[in-house]
Amino acid sequence: MGCRIVLLGMPGAGKGTQADLLAQALGVPHVASGDLFREHLEKGTELGRLARSYIDRGDLVPDEVTIGMVAERLSRPDCASGFILDGFPRTVPQAEALDRLLRERGVALDAVAYIRVREEVALARLAGRWTCRQCGAVFHTLFNPPRQAGVCDICGGELYQRSDETEEAHRRRLKVYQEQTSPLIDYYRRAGLLVEIDGEQSIEDVQADLRAAVEVACGR
Ligand code: AP5
Ligand code: MG
Ligand code: ZN
């Protein structure tokens, strides 16, 4: 039996951090639309070139492009028995596209975990973030420092600061979240899928709450 989870929350809520841990625990892939875009940026693909200007400003990449990219990832064999989606869906049309795609395959989401934090907490977290160029793992200079500065604990890759790690882009991302993504909280509440998680606890405590919620939803 599979386990299909969406993580919802504002930029800096800790979606990527929690998704990595949860994916390991459940043995399903962590599918992050932001990571997929950053792979395209690194490789310099056409999609990457198209996405760059949106990402650097903190705006959303257009739905058609994003939906196509994520749908392709979800169609790969490793997603057959489940996935943790992080950063997708982010608009109502994206959520509707995901519903259709899963329905066509005869499956459905098990839960949408909404990781709730205040904006000032999110901004403080974004300000000290470092990301692994190789595996996408995230660290924080104060809250989750790597054992060795500049080096990923997990794969030894180089840590860098994302091109959208500017104060201006952070504020823009939070505004875009309020306008375009926060309506999904109600969308999934109405669908009976929403579980709220207090995201202002330690990384370990957020993970414990998330794990408990997912065990109920996925029946394990
Ligand atoms: P994306 O990469 O998805 O960025 P985001 O949603 O803005 O979220 P972040 O990755 O910034 O935050 P997070 O919640 O993952 O937090 P993290 O775990 O890193 O998207 C980037 C861009 O791509 C978008 O702006 C858009 O342009 C485009 N894009 C992506 N998806 C799209 C879509 N579906 N449609 C259209 N465009 C799309 O944690 C943050 C920091 O806090 C880290 O340093 C971490 O170590 C630390 N931390 C985490 N948890 C805790 C804790 N409990 N206590 C203390 N510190 C913590
Ligand atoms: Mg992230
Ligand atoms: Zn790494």
Where are the alpha helices (H) located in the chain, listed in sequence order? 15-26, 33-43, 46-57, 63-74, 92-104, 119-127, 167-176, 183-190, 203-218
Q: How many angstroms separate the alpha carbon of residue 1 from the centre of ligand 1?
A: 29
> 162 catalytic, yes or no?
yes
Assigned domain for 129 exists: no
* Residue 3 tokens, joined: 């386990």
Instruction: Say which amino acid occupies 113.
Output: A
Structural domain of 72: 3-118+185-217
Assigned domain for 177 exists: no
Assigned domain for 66 exists: yes
Assigned domain for 22 exists: yes
CATH (domain of 48): 3.40.50.300
Name the band, by pLDDT with cuts 50, 70 and 90, for residue 217. very high
Return d(Cα 220, Cα 217) in angstroms, integer. Answer: 8
pLDDT digits (tens, 9 = 90+) for 7-18: 999 999 999 999
Task: List the one residue out of 132, 75, 88, 111 whose CA is nearest residue 194.
Answer: 111
Residue 62 in this model has a pLDDT that exceeds 70: yes
Count of structural domains within the chain: 1
Name the band, by pLDDT with cuts 50, 70 and 90, for residue 219. confident
> 76 catalytic, yes or no?
no
Assigned domain for 35 exists: yes
pLDDT digits (tens, 9 = 90+) for 22-46: 999 999 999 999 999 999 999 999 9
* Residue 33 tokens, joined: 């639309």
Instruction: Say which amino acid occupies 169.
Output: A
pLDDT digits (tens, 9 = 90+) for 125-173: 999 999 999 999 999 999 999 999 999 999 999 999 998 999 999 999 9
- What pLDDT shows up at residue 212? 97
Q: What is the percentage of the chain residues whose pLDDT exceeds 90?
A: 96
Residue 1 in this model has a pLDDT that exceeds 80: no
Secondary structure class of 115 (helix, strand, coil): strand
> 129 catalytic, yes or no?
yes
Assigned domain for 77 exists: yes
Atom of ligand 1 nearest to the CA of 51: 27
Q: Quick check: 65 and 47 in contact, CB under 8 A? A: yes
Nearest-CA residue for atom 56 of ligand 1: 143
- What pLDDT shows up at residue 220? 65
Return d(Cα 60, Cα 184) in angstroms, integer. Answer: 15
Assigned domain for 127 exists: no
Candidate of 39, 142, 144, 180 to mutate for ligand 1, largest count of ligand atoms within 8 Å of Cβ: 144
Q: What is the DSSP letter of 166?
A: S
Residue 63 in this model has a pLDDT that exceeds 70: yes
For 36-41, the CB contacts below 8 A with 24+ separation are 36/69, 36/70, 36/73, 37/61, 37/69, 38/136, 38/162, 40/69, 41/163
Ligand 1 neighbours (beta carbon < 6 A): 9, 11-17, 33-34, 37, 54-55, 58-61, 66, 87-88, 90, 94, 125-126, 128-129, 138-140, 143-144, 164, 173, 202-203, 206
Return d(Cα 80, Cα 8) in angstroms, integer. Answer: 21
Candidate of 8, 10, 17 to mutate for ligand 1, largest count of ligand atoms within 8 Å of Cβ: 17
Assigned domain for 147 exists: no
C-alpha of 25 from chain center: 17
Return d(Cα 58, Cα 173) in angstroms, integer. Answer: 5
